[in-house]
């Protein structure tokens, strides 16, 4: 069993917070909730951040979560952990990445999918596709396989 490093983060008092809806600075706080967030490991220690998530009272949008650059709105992992997981999934199996970071397989799969959408700049446009073709080939002396899906009429990799 790996040891844990638990870090409690406290917001600065009087510091304006940004509204996640419009991005404007807001000083009024609607409510607060403590949330546990996973971060990248520190040496052999798993890292868990205890973060006070604030909902600000935005005059234009009403109660909205405070915008934090390092954390997606309802995420349970930091952006840098999500990016590391997605990057590692390019060269390793989802199950191995899940075991490495001690995350649930479904969580790693969702982070991998979100990273792929970011790299492709949004969801894939599949309009007008009538025929697809698949090609599977072996990687690393047959220990891993890769599948390529193409549209043969336009010769486009999907």
Taking only the tens place, the pLDDT of each residue in 99-158 is: 999 999 999 999 998 988 888 776 677 788 888 888 887 776 666 777 888 888 887 777
Q: Which of 44, 76, 108 is the last residue of a domain?
A: 76
Domain ranges, residue 150: 127-158
Give the residue from 68, 53, 54 showing the smallest Cα distance to 23.
68
Span 60-71, mean pLDDT? 92
Q: Give every CB contact of residue 70 below 8 A, 6+ residues apart in sequence.
A: 78, 79, 80
**Does one domain contain both 72 and 12?**
yes
**Does one domain contain both 13 and 35?**
yes
**Does one domain contain both 13 and 57?**
yes
pTM here is 0.75
3-class SS of residue 134:
strand
Q: How many domains does the chain contain in total? A: 3
CA separation, residue 79 to residues 69, 97, 118 (Å) = 8, 16, 12
**Does one domain contain both 69 and 84?**
no
**Does one domain contain both 4 and 29?**
yes
**Does one domain contain both 67 and 38?**
yes
**Residues of the chain above pLDDT 70, percent:** 96
**Does one domain contain both 1 and 57?**
yes
**Does one domain contain both 68 and 93?**
no
**Does one domain contain both 92 and 119?**
yes
**Does one domain contain both 16 and 56?**
yes
**Does one domain contain both 96 and 70?**
no
d(CA 23, CA 122): 22
Q: Looking at the predicted structure, is the pLDDT value of residue 1 above 70?
A: no
**Does one domain contain both 82 and 72?**
no
Mean pLDDT across the chain, nearest whole number? 88
Span 63-80, mean pLDDT? 93
């Amino acid at each position: 069993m790996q040891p844990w490093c638990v870090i409690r983060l406290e917001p600065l008092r009087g510091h304006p917070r940004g509204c996640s809806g419009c991005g404007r600075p807001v000083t009024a706080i609607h409510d607060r909730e403590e949330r546990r967030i996973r971060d990248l490991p520190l040496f052999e220690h798993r890292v868990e951040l205890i973060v006070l998530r604030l909902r600000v009272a935005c005059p234009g949008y009403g109660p909205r979560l405070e915008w934090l650059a390092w954390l997606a709105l309802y995420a349970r992992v930091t952006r840098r952990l999500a990016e590391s997981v997605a990057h590692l999934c390019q060269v390793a199996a989802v199950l191995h990445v899940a075991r490495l970071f001690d995350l649930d397989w479904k969580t790693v799969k969702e982070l991998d999918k979100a990273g792929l959408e970011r790299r492709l700049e949004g969801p894939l446009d599949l309009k007008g596709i009538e025929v697809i073709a698949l090609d599977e080939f072996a990687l690393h002396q047959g220990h891993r396989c890769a599948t390529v899906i193409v549209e043969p009429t336009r010769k486009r990799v999907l």
